[in-house]
């Protein structure tokens, strides 16, 4: 009997390991090689644009352009020469960086301000800053562009920061803490594979998110079946066009909304494109009152080291009978 239990427990552990090793995995994943593998350089980092960035020496003046990456530098006691502006409603600025010069908001950073800081490394967003990469490199500034959506992204980015700051073991320990926290949540989640739809609204459009989005990755971890995941896509697409016909056909058990933009404009877009359709009221999730708005702090901006909190938030909505 004890032997049988041991095998069952071992099987569960292997299942969870496989889930976190392979789940929500993107393409062009960032990797890092340290000096003993990097042809004499301090490190060679392959970023999420597929570029090999050679760092001759350990960076001393780092500028971070992505809000979600600041906590990673903070967790490793990393010093910064500059950072993106952090709005209080979006994220909490680590105290150690309060006096660090800011170079403008993430979506509109100032190249001039960055250059004035004379950085020896800029860490940028692969999504938002692609056009800046060549401009900065023309000024002799190395740039590492990182993607920040899935949990795999978070752990890889943390490993990259560990290499940059020479804190590999600390980065691995922090990743292990996140793994442990998420595994505890996932182990409690029922495996009844409820169907979910994740609708993303902006002032101009409504789309449906896939497992490569933040919310989609969290849903996959929690054994929730995203009704859009069978859509044929390519690359790292995280959303597809919205269709009420397709939504009605899939008839999800739960509907999550994520958004980006002013609340009043988002509400108007949802009323026009979603709720005005008579089919909306017939959906199982709507009739059961299982329609939820996910907070931007966790599901628009990447939660970074708070990914376990994002997963826990969704778990409480999906399984209130389990997660009080």
Both 174 and 134 in one domain: the answer is: yes
Give the model's pLDDT for residue 54: 94
Within this chain, do residues 134 and 257 fall inside the same structural domain, yes or no? no
What pLDDT does 256 receive?
Answer: 97
CA atoms of 110 and 104, how far apart (whole Å): 6
Our measurement of the distance from residue 29's CA atom to the centroid of its chain's CA atoms, rounded to an integer in Å, reads 13
Rg from Cα positions in the chain = 21
Co-location of 48 and 176 in the same domain: yes
Listed as ranges, residues in the chain with pLDDT below 50 are: 1-22, 36
Same domain, 216 and 84: no
Same domain membership, residue 213 and residue 159: no
Phi-psi region at 211: left, alpha or beta (left = phi > 0; alpha = psi -120 to 50): alpha
Q: Chain-wide mean pLDDT for the chain?
A: 87
Residues 149 and 36 in one domain: yes
With CA atoms as reference, report the closest residue to 69 among 168, 130, 142, 149: 149
The pLDDT assigned to 107 comes to 86
Q: Please, are residues 25 and 152 in contact by the beta-carbon 8 Å criterion?
A: yes
106 within 8 A of 66, measured Cβ to Cβ = yes
Query: What pTM value is reported for the model?
Result: 0.84
- Quote the domain boundaries for residue 297: 189-318
User: Greatest CA separation found in the chain?
Assistant: 69
Q: Considering 184, 203, 218, which residue would you say is the last residue of a domain?
A: 184
DSSP state of 271: I
Q: Are residues 149 and 299 in contact, defined by beta-carbon separation less than 8 angstroms?
A: no
Distance CA 43, CA 23 (A): 27
Confirm whether 97 is domain-assigned: yes
Task: Look at residue 127 and tell me if it is in a domain.
Answer: yes
CATH of the domain at 240: 3.40.50.1980
154 & 263 share domain: no
Identify whether 272 is part of a domain. yes
pLDDT of residue 6: 39
Domain count, the chain: 2
- The answer on 270 and 152 residing in a single domain is no
pLDDT computed for residue 33 by the predictor? 60
Give first-to-last CA distance, the chain, whole Å.
Answer: 33
Tell me how far apart the alpha carbons of residues 151 and 153 are, in angstroms, rounded to a whole number.
5
Kind of pairing, strands 121-125 and 62-64? Answer: parallel
- Which of the listed residues 153, 184, 215 is the one where a domain comes to its end? 184
Residue 322: the pLDDT is 95
Would you put residue 21 in left (φ > 0), alpha (ψ -120 to 50) or beta?
alpha
Among 184, 202, 237, give the residue marking a domain's end: 184
Of 278, 213, 210, residue with least CA distance to 248: 278
257 in the same domain as 200: yes
Contacts of 65 (CB under 8 A, 6+ apart): 83, 84, 103, 106, 109, 114, 122, 123, 124, 125, 128, 129, 132
What is the Cα–Cα distance from 158 to 168, expressed in whole angstroms? 9
pLDDT of res. 233:
62
Q: Are residues 221 and 299 in the same domain?
A: yes
Q: Are residues 199 and 274 in the same domain?
A: yes
pLDDT at 324: 76
Mark whether 44 and 178 lie in a shared domain.
Answer: yes
């Amino acid at each position: 009997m004890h032997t049988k239990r041991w095998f069952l427990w071992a099987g569960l552990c292997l299942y969870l390991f496989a889930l976190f090793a392979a789940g929500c995995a993107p393409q062009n994943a960032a990797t890092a090689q340290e000096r003993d593998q990097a042809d004499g350089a301090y490190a060679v980092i392959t970023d999420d644009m597929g570029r090999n960035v050679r760092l001759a020496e350990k960076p001393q003046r780092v500028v971070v352009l992505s809000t979600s990456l600041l906590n990673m530098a903070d967790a490793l006691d990393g010093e910064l020469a500059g950072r993106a502006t952090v709005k209080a409603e979006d994220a909490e600025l680590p105290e150690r960086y309060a006096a660090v010069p800011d170079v403008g908001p993430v979506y509109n950073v100032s190249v001039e301000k960055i250059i004035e800081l004379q950085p020896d490394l800029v860490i940028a967003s692969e999504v938002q800053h692609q056009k800046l990469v060549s401009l900065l490199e023309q000024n002799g500034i190395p740039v590492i562009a990182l993607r920040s959506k899935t949990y795999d992204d978070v752990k890889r980015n943390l490993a990259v920061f560990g290499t940059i700051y020479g804190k590999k073991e600390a980065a691995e320990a922090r990743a292990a803490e996140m793994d442990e926290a998420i595994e505890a949540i996932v182990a409690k989640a029922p495996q009844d594979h409820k169907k979910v739809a994740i609708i993303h609204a902006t002032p101009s459009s409504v789309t449906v998110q896939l497992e490569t989005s933040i919310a989609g990755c969290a849903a996959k971890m929690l054994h929730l079946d995203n009704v859009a995941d069978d859509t044929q896509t390519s690359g790292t697409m995280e959303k597809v066009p919205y269709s009420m016909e397709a939504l009605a056909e899939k008839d999800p058990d739960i509907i999550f909304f994520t958004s980006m933009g002013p609340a009043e404009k988002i509400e108007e877009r949802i009323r026009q494109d979603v709720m005005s359709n008579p089919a909306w009221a017939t959906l199982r999730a709507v009739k059961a009152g299982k329609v939820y708005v996910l907070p931007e702090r966790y599901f628009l901006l990447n939660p970074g080291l708070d990914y376990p909190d994002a997963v826990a938030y969704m778990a409480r909505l999906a399984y209130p009978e389990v997660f009080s």
